[in-house]
Chains A and B, each alone.
Chain A
Amino acid sequence: MLKIIYITSVDGFVMTVVSNVNEGEKKKSLIFIPLVKGEEEEPTERFSDNPIKSTQSICPECNRIISAEIFEREGKVYMRKTCPVHGETEELYFGDYGMYRRFSAYWDDGKGQEAPNVKMDRCQCPANCGLCTNHLSHTGLANIIVTNRCDLTCWYCFFYVKKGLEGAYVYEPTLEQIRAMVRTLRAERPVPGNSVQITGGEPTLRDDLPEIIRMIKQEGIDHVQLNTNGINIALHPELARVYKEAGVSNLYMSFDGVTPKTNPKNHWEAPYAIEACRKANLGVVLVPTVIKSVNDHEVYDIIRFAKQNIDVVRAVNFQPVSLTGRMSKKEREKYRITIPDVIKKIEEQSEGEIASSDWFPVPSCSPVTHFIEAITNRKQYELSIHFACGAGTYVYLDRENDRLVPITRFVDIKGLLEYLDDVSEEIESGSNKYVELAKVALKLKGFVDEKNQPEGLDLARLLFEVLFKHDYSSVGKFQMNSLFLGMMHFMDKYNHDEERLQRCDIHYLTPDLRIIPFCSFNVIPEWYRDRIQKKYGMPVEQWEKQHNEKLEDRLYRGQLRKEAIKQGTGASCLVNEMLSGVNG
């Protein structure tokens, strides 16, 4: 059976990977469809457009900073922009206008950071990232790329070094460079960065990874997340324990679907990696990239897979696809999916078990931060990204009925957030802090409907601990009892919104000691990622000579996959067991 598994577009071609799936065996072929450079896009009927606001964006062809209109049409929100040279681009921005209005009500500009690396009076996002004076969020999660080598060779991926390509280089910062990056993060004020994601390429290919992890912890970072495809951990299960002991808080593992078709990357290997983490008591976050018409029909199955493994899987973080390279409007429409679309798919596929109304935008956490700041009189860690960037909800397992129960079904979240905002205002306007706190403690239970709360859960108590102890461990405890469902829609050149970028809190640390927002680092690699990695990397040949090793020596050759398919045991058996649980 022929099935499209991935699409992208490079240098004027749309490339389509077609897999020929025959009893688990897969052959890939590439189909190249040429595109006309600078292709004119079809003008769209505009009589029903309802303008919302304007913003700034970039031209997807030449990166020129241009104005963009955000408008509503037939219940969806679009972005339209015109480059004087390359013409008009129209793109779906947010798949539901009602959700756009509900989410934007939680808009909250952050404190930013007071120690910018790039001092600018008037910044020109995305041209001055570093962070600059005008950036509005401190770092929520700092990515450190420890290598751009990978044990897989996914053809659509731009993150790893491809041997044979002209000018290919290996980027592997030294331990001392990494230490300096972490110190830059810790120097952020008023809130020193506290959360790091080690990423790649495939970070587990670095033999000194445990040493890197220990060093990051020694520098005072509480949360260390390891971004991996899980293959190496599946092959060497003892690594899970090694990383855990070194200080990793959780794995952040790619997981695009529950079938070999939708998840060709690690379908057979992921269960082994999860099992290794289970034994090492190391939490896992599953990370599906969602592509319309490719794997969006499996979003709820992925949640069910997580539910089956809720003892070790802490979260599922969906990432609606970011479309790289040059693509026609038609192609984009085929694959473009936004946060509301994924949320609605989950609602449909779960038959309302997890509904659209259960989701909140990331900045809805702000009232909790404001409250803690009001009672401690100290600036706190906050999640002040743009409302269109991310969303989330907590779900709890009702073991009796084997159902997931979203937190909104037994906690009046809206009411609680409004109430916390009011109390913070009271305290800031001079009301007695202790009287207000006593009132909150008494009132907290009123927001929790104990009758509908899953058995064994005392959410009022957990909330009390988060609000009154407000330390890393009470937040951890709150999360331990649940499965967090999250979304982050990384931008691309078509939907780039500088208003979102200015609020970004997912950053990259670089050896030149800059801190660069994810959606400039990866969306304009020619200005950031590629330029920096080239500067601090070395040619492949030099790396091979220095390490007495060939780049391809560490490639994964499908050992687990082949074995599992041949014997009908091992991973395939494990997957089938899980899937029969999922589907049965």
Chain B
Amino acid sequence: MNAQAEYSKEPFIRVIQARKESAEKLNFTVEFSFPQNFLDGITLENIKEAYRNMDRRIKLKYRVSIYEKGILFNKKIAEKELSKKWVLYWTRDPTILERYRTNIWVLGIDENLESEFFMDFEEAKTFLFSLRETFSVQPESFADKGSKVFAEIQVRSHRHYFIEAINSKVRSATITIV
């Protein structure tokens, strides 16, 4: 069995925007990605090995939560669950055959259960192992302009041929709602 990709440092997460659009609407954009050395450990060789061993569907479940930072407690103001998948398949795409010398390739399935076809392996990894989500929430009495917010992402996946089981929770730095 090929070496599995492991973490050597924390995934990257940040809230890149927290904006109060109107009295009724707060927008947040959250960005998340696994560390590069983890992604580098996922190679086409271990993808092939996984395929041969009938390990052909890799699903990552993400739970994204936004908290308002309080003095004693943090208050959850939004939450979203979504999942993304890779399906490994035997391609007859001559361009992939030529470029990567492989006939085992990945198809992405997004959170709406629609497919994404890739021509580039790095692009396929970015699709599955990173996230950029925008939330629109209706604020209550909290989370107004000037409030501090942060995001937390929990990501889970079963063990696969090329990755250990993932169950990690990471928290972003706080930013101020503008």
Contacts and interface: CB of A to CB of B under 8 A. Distances in A.
Interface of A: 52-56, 67, 101-102, 104-105, 107-109, 111, 125, 134, 136, 414, 418, 421-422, 425-426, 428-429, 498-499, 502
B94 interface: yes
Contacts of B117: 52-53, 104
Given A53-B117, A429-B159, A429-B165, A108 B56 contact: yes
A368 to B, nearest CB: 14
A39 B26 CA distance: 61
17 contacts: A52-B117, A53-B91, A53-B117, A54-B94, A55-B92, A67-B95, A102-B113, A102-B114, A108-B87, A111-B54, A136-B90, A418-B113, A422-B59, A425-B57, A498-B92, A502-B90, A502-B92
B89 interface: yes
Q: How large is the interface on B (under 10, 10 to 19, 20 to 34, 35 or more residues)?
A: 20 to 34
Given A102-B114, A105-B113, A499-B92, 13 more contacts: A54-B93, A54-B94, A55-B92, A56-B94, A105-B109, A107-B87, A107-B89, A108-B57, A109-B90, A421-B59, A428-B158, A429-B159, A429-B165
B115 interface: yes
B107 interface: yes
Kindly list the 7 A-B residue pairs having the minimum CB-CB distance in the complex, ordered from nearest: A104-B115, A101-B114, A54-B93, A67-B94, A429-B158, A56-B92, A499-B92
Interface string B103-121: 0000101000111010100
A499 B107 contact: no
Contacts of B59: 421-422, 425
A422 B59 CA distance: 9
A522 to B, nearest CB: 20
Nearest to B54: A111
B92 A105 contact: no
Contacts of B115: 101, 104-105, 107
A584 to B, nearest CB: 40
Contacts of B95: 54, 67
Contacts of A101: 114-115
A399 B24 CA distance: 48
A54 B88 CA distance: 16
Contacts of A418: 113
A71 to B, nearest CB: 11
A502 B90 CA distance: 9
A56 B90 CA distance: 12
Contacts of A107: 87, 89, 107, 115
Contacts of B88: 109
Interface in B70-115: 87-96, 107, 109, 113-115
B91 A499 contact: yes
Given A53-B117, A102-B114, A429-B159, A109 B89 contact: yes
Contact of A414 (B91, B92, B107, B113): B113
Given A421-B59, A425-B59, A104 B92 contact: no
A27 to B, nearest CB: 47
Nearest to B93: A54
A111 B52 CA distance: 10
Contacts of A111: 54
A101 B56 CA distance: 19
A361 to B, nearest CB: 11
A54 B95 CA distance: 7
B47 to A, nearest CB: 13
A499 B96 CA distance: 14
A80 to B, nearest CB: 14
Contacts of A104: 107, 115, 117
A223 B119 CA distance: 42
Interface string B53-67: 010110100000000
A125 B87 contact: no
Nearest to B107: A107
A503 B26 CA distance: 48
Contacts of B165: 429
Contacts of B87: 107-108
Contacts of B113: 102, 105, 414, 418
A55 B114 contact: no
B93 A53 contact: yes
A125 B92 contact: yes
A129 B114 CA distance: 32
Interface string B22-51: 000000000000000000000000000001
Contacts of B96: 54
Nearest to B95: A54
